[in-house]
Structure 1
Amino acid sequence: MQAVLLAAGEGTRIRPLSASLPKPMLPVADRPLVAHAADAAVDAGADELVVVVGYEAEEVRGYFGDEYRGVPVRYAVQSERAGTADAVRAARELLDGAFAVLNGDNLYDPDAVADLFASGPAVAAVRVEEPSNYGVLSAEEGVVTDIVEKPADPPTNLANAGAYVFPAAAREWLDVPESERGEHEITDVVARAIEEYDVGYAAMDRWLDVGRPWELLEANEWKLGELDRDVRGEVHDEADLRGPVVVEEGATIDAGVVIEGPALVRSGASVGPNAYVRGATLLGEEAHVGHSVEIKNSVVGAGTHVAHLSYVGDSVLGRDVNFGAGTNVANLRHDGEAVRHTVKGERVLTGRRKFGVVVGDDAKTAIDTSLNAGVTLSEGATTTPGEVVTRDK
Structure 2
Amino acid sequence: MNDNDTTAIVLAAGEGNRLHPLTKNRPKPMLPAAAKPILEHVFDQLIDAGITEIVVVVGYKRERIQSHFGPSYRDVPLTYVTQDKQLGTGHAVLAAEAAVDGTCLVVNGDQIAASRIIRDTLEAHDTAATVALLQRSSVDGYGGVLVDEDRVTTIVEDPPDDREYLLNAGIYVLEPVAFDAIRAAEPRAGERLLVDGLSKLVEWGDVVRGAVSEGLWVDATYPWDLLDVSFELFNTGLIDRQSTRNVHETATVHESVVIREPVIVDRDCVIEPGAVVGPNVCLGENTTVGSNAVVERSVVDTDTRIGANATVTECVTGTGVRIGQGSTIPGGPGDVRVADRVFENETLGALLADRVHDHGGVTYVPGTLVGPRTEIQAGTTVRGTLEAGTEVRS
Fold-level similarity (TM above 0.5): yes
1:63 maps onto 2:68 in alignment: yes
Indicate if the aligned counterparts of 1:276 and 1:292 stay in contact, CA closer than 8 A. yes
Q: Measured at CA, do residues 132 and 309 of structure 1 come closer, stay the same or move farther in structure 2, by a change above 3 Å?
A: closer
CA distance in 2, matches of 1:341, 1:114: 38
In the alignment, what sits opposite 1:54? 59
Asked if structure 2 preserves the Cα contact closer than 8 Å seen for 1:228 and 1:245, the reply is no
CA distance in 2, matches of 1:156, 1:292: 51
Does residue 1:142 correspond to 2:150, yes or no? yes
Counterpart pick for 2:25 among 20, 25, 39 = 20
Paired amino acid for 1:107: I
Q: Among 380, 388, 392, which residue is 2:381 paired with?
A: 388
Partner SS state of residue 189, structure 1? helix
Question: What does residue 343 of structure 1 align with?
Answer: 338
**1:208 maps to what in 2?**
218
Residue 248 of structure 1: how far off its partner (Å): 0.9
Matched, 1:219 2:214: no
Answer yes or no: is the 8 Å Cα contact 1:131–1:156 preserved in 2. Answer: no
Counterpart of 1:357 in structure 2 is 350
Q: How does 1:309-388 map to 2 (within 5 A)?
A: 309-332=309-332, 338-349=333-344, 352=346, 354-388=347-381
Of 167-176 and 301-310, more deviation after overlay is shown by: 167-176
Give the AA of the match of 1:349. E
SS in 1 for 2:331: coil
Match of 2:384, SS?
A: coil
Q: SS of the counterpart of 2:197? A: helix
1:136–1:155 CA contact under 8 A, matched in 2:
no
Residue 307 of structure 1 pairs with residue 316 of structure 2:
no
* Counterpart contact for 1:292–1:310, Cα < 8 Å: yes
Q: Deviations over 1:238-271 (max 9, x none)?
A: xxxxx83111132100131001111011111110
How has the CA–CA distance of structure 1 residues 200 and 151 changed in structure 2, closer, same or farther, with 3 Å as cutoff? closer
Per-residue displacement from partner, 1:166-218 (whole Å, max 9, x unpaired)? 11222323323222x44211101221333312413232343122121111111
Q: Which residue of 2 aligns with 1:164?
A: 172
The size of the alignment, in residue pairs, is 373
- Report if aligned partners of 2:11, 2:108 keep a CA contact under 8 Å in 1: yes
3-state SS, counterpart of residue 309 of structure 1 = coil
Matched, 1:288 2:288: yes
In structure 2, C-alpha distance between the alignment counterparts of 1:171 and 1:129, rounded to whole Å:
32
Where structure 1 has 5 or more consecutive residues not aligned to the other structure, the ranges are 231-242, 333-337
Deviation for aligned residue 1:30: 4.3
- Aligned equivalent of 1:117, options 115, 122, 126: 122
CA contact (8 A) 1:108 1:206 kept: yes
Q: 1:144, 1:201 within 8 Å by CA — same for their partners in 2?
A: no
Structure 2 equivalent of residue 133 of structure 1 = 141
Distance in 1 separating the partners of 2:291 and 2:377: 22
1:42 to 17, 22, 47: 47
Offset at residue 313 of structure 1 (A): 0.5
C-alpha distance 247-339 of structure 1, shift in aligned 2 (>3 A): same
CA distance in 1, matches of 2:155, 2:214: 17
Structure 1 letter corresponding to 2:86:
R
Q: Report the Cα offset of residue 29 of structure 1.
A: 2.0
2:106 & 2:241 partners in 1: Cα distance? 33
> Structure 2 counterpart of 1:365, which letter?
D
Q: Give 2:392's aligned residue.
A: none
Cα contact 2:15–2:26 (8 A) shared by 1 = no
Residues of 2 paired with 1:150 and 1:29: CA distance?
28
Q: Supply the distance in 2 between the matched residues of 1:308 and 1:345 (Cα, whole angstroms).
A: 36
Equivalent position to 1:88, from 72, 85, 93: 93
Q: Contact between 1:131 and 1:154, CA under 8 Å: does it hold in 2?
A: no
The alpha-carbon deviation at position 132 of structure 1 amounts to 4.1
Amino acid across the alignment from 1:384:
Q
The letter for the 2-side match of 1:116 is T
2:260 corresponding residue in structure 1: 260
TM-score normalized by the length of structure 1: 0.90
Paired residues of 1:16 and 1:379 also in contact (CA < 8 A): yes
Q: Distance in 2 between matches of 1:213 and 1:63?
A: 23
- Which stretches of structure 1, 4 residues or more, deviate above 3 A after TM superposition? 227-230
Q: Supply the distance in 2 between the matched residues of 1:123 and 1:73 (Cα, whole angstroms).
A: 24
Q: Counterpart of 1:348 in structure 2: which amino acid?
A: F
Identity level (%): 31
CA gap 1:177/1:229 in 2 versus in 1, 3 angstroms: closer
Secondary structure at 1:55 match in 2: coil
- 1:63 partner SS: helix
Judge conservation of contact 1:166–1:193 (CA < 8 Å) in 2.
Answer: no
- C-alpha spacing 1:87/1:198, structure 2 compared with 1 (3 Å): closer
Which SS does the other structure have where 1:303 is aligned?
A: coil
Deviates more, 1:93-102 or 1:380-389: 380-389
Q: Matches of 2:370 and 2:99 in 1, distance apart?
A: 41
Residue 335 of structure 1: aligned partner: none
Q: Distance in 2 between matches of 1:224 and 1:130?
A: 23
Q: Is the 8 A contact 2:314 2:350 kept in 1?
A: yes
